[in-house]
Amino acid sequence: MDLGIEGKRVLVTGASQGIGKEIALAFAKEGCRVAVIARRQDKLLDLVEEMGGEKKGHSYHVGDMLEKGSPSKALEALTCGKGGFEIAIHNIGGTLNLKNPLASVEEWNKVWFNNVGVAIEMNALLIPQMQKHAWGRVIHISSISAESVRGSTPYAAAKAYLNAYVKGIGRSFAKDNIVVSAIMPGAIWEEGGHWDNIRKNKPEIESDFLRHHHAIGRLGRAEEIAPFALFLASKWVTFAQATIIPVDGGTM
């Protein structure tokens, strides 16, 4: 299938590993020029090389997006003299190891900014550029936790907020041919990640979780999420404004 995205400039945040990395690689294979953001320079350098290097139009920016002004500075660095992005995938997120529902407002806000605020700050710069060209795709990686509300309550609440944000902003720019959407993955295994640590140290927790909550009976893989990002960025999604897609192995 021709996705109609060859040559387009793509931004992927949180791209050093897992879902973000697989999404970046998938867009590079489609002939896009991919810019990636994460905190670890070594992993970003390896990723850019794996995608084909700077000669193919790929680039990277190292930074902690939780630092004040960092999301805007990252965009400024990546767009300097290169024009705006036509496709953006917001993959930064996580619990920040905050599980206490009675944590301070400051701690809740930090989790919120990690999962929602970074994307909001970037979209304020990305979408006006897309409007000028009457074409754009903005994809957010949410979580099935937004609906199931399992695990970290601050994280689940932030992802639920993100889903509402996607619905609202998606409707706001629907007439501009800008498709704003989200993907809600279920539990995903990645090397060095949460479920990798669980599997190595407390495998009984994984077994119990899968038995009760994943109809498919296994954890997902990052490469099973990436194709959905490709399609949501394609020329075929012109009637999919504000769409939120669960990709969760039949979460129960």
What residue spans of the chain are helical by DSSP H? Answer: 18-29, 41-51, 70-79, 105-112, 118-133, 145-148, 153-172, 194-201, 203-213, 226-232
pLDDT digits (tens, 9 = 90+) for 131-169: 999 999 999 999 999 999 988 999 999 999 999 999 999
Evaluate the CA torsion angle 39, 18, 168, 33 in order and state its sign.
Answer: positive
pLDDT at 80 over 80: no
Span 71-89, mean pLDDT? 90
Domains identified in the chain and CATH numbers: 9-185+225-243 (3.40.50.720)
What are the structure tokens assigned to 211, written together? 């038995």
pLDDT digits (tens, 9 = 90+) for 27-42: 999 999 999 999 999 9
What is the DSSP secondary structure assignment for residue 116, as one 8-state letter? Answer: I
The pLDDT mean for the chain works out to 95
- Give the pLDDT score at 81: 67
- Give the pLDDT score at 79: 87
- Give the pLDDT score at 30: 98
Residues 161, 224: contact at Cβ < 8 Å?
no
d(CA 17, CA 40): 10
Residues 155, 179: contact at Cβ < 8 Å?
no
Q: What are phi and psi of 172, to 5 degrees?
A: -65, -35
What are the structure tokens assigned to 205, written together? 């927790």
To the question of pTM greater than 0.85 for the whole model, the response is yes
What are the structure tokens assigned to 168, written together? 């609202």
Per cent of the chain over pLDDT 70 is 100
d(CA 127, CA 80): 17
